[in-house]
């Protein structure tokens, strides 16, 4: 057997350490996320849900986020699920906050808190549920994923 086979097999069967999704083959959630970002920047139709895609992915992969950034992203997703998606300016602000916090403010304390929260959530949808075969399927499945994450977070908070 070639030396690389053990690594490939291990990667294939381990769930994502942050969201628990099982990767397709050796592709990770982060690999898939970056592939989708390429679609976003190549096609305006895909870009229509770019902010929602980033927000949803980062909320599900929140280890590097502070409490403030996590609650901010979570509130934005709840607003989306309630049909009150903020205007573009607010979306961009939320995204900038997320990116800044993820980059500069990640703390051990938050990582511990988010890990506890994550363990209680069995996400109903992940980045692998996004269909990128066409614009309408893409928009529809990104929105469905965002709503599912908002719903899963609410359910996790409601249960003891």
The answer to whether 49 contacts Zn ion (rule: CB under 5 A) is no
Among 23, 29, 36, 53, binds Zn ion (CB under 5 A): 29
**107 closest CA partner among 74, 62, 72, 73:** 62
The answer to whether 64 contacts Zn ion (rule: CB under 5 A) is no
| Identity of the residue, 15 or 134, whose beta carbon is nearer to Zn ion in the bound complex | 15
* Contact window for Zn ion (CB under 5 A) among 8-16, 48-56, 76-84, 150-158: 8-16
Smallest gap from Cβ 93 to Zn ion, in A, equals: 25
Total residues in contact with Zn ion, by rule CB under 5 A:
5
Smallest gap from Cβ 16 to Zn ion, in A, equals: 3
3-state secondary structure of 15: strand
The answer to whether 19 contacts Zn ion (rule: CB under 5 A) is yes
- Check: CB of residue 117 under 8 Å from CB of residue 124: no
Q: Rounded distance, CA 75 to CA 116, Å?
A: 19
Distances (CA, A) of 50 to 1, 47, 84, 94: 42, 5, 17, 13
């Amino acid at each position: 057997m070639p030396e690389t086979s053990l690594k490939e097999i291990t990667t294939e069967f381990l769930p994502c350490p942050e969201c628990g999704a099982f990767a397709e083959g050796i592709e990770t959630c982060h690999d898939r996320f970056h592939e989708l970002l390429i679609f976003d920047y190549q096609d305006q139709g895909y870009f229509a849900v770019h902010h929602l895609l980033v927000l949803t992915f980062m909320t599900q992969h929140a280890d590097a986020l502070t409490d403030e950034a996590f609650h901010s992203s979570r509130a934005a997703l709840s607003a989306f699920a309630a049909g009150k998606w903020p205007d573009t300016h607010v979306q961009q602000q939320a995204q900038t906050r997320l990116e800044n916090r993820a980059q500069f403010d990640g703390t051990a304390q938050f990582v511990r808190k988010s890990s506890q929260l994550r363990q209680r959530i069995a996400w109903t949808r992940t980045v692998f549920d996004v269909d990128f075969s066409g614009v309408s399927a893409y928009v529809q499945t990104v929105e469905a994923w965002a709503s599912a994450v908002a719903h899963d977070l609410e359910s996790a908070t409601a249960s003891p």
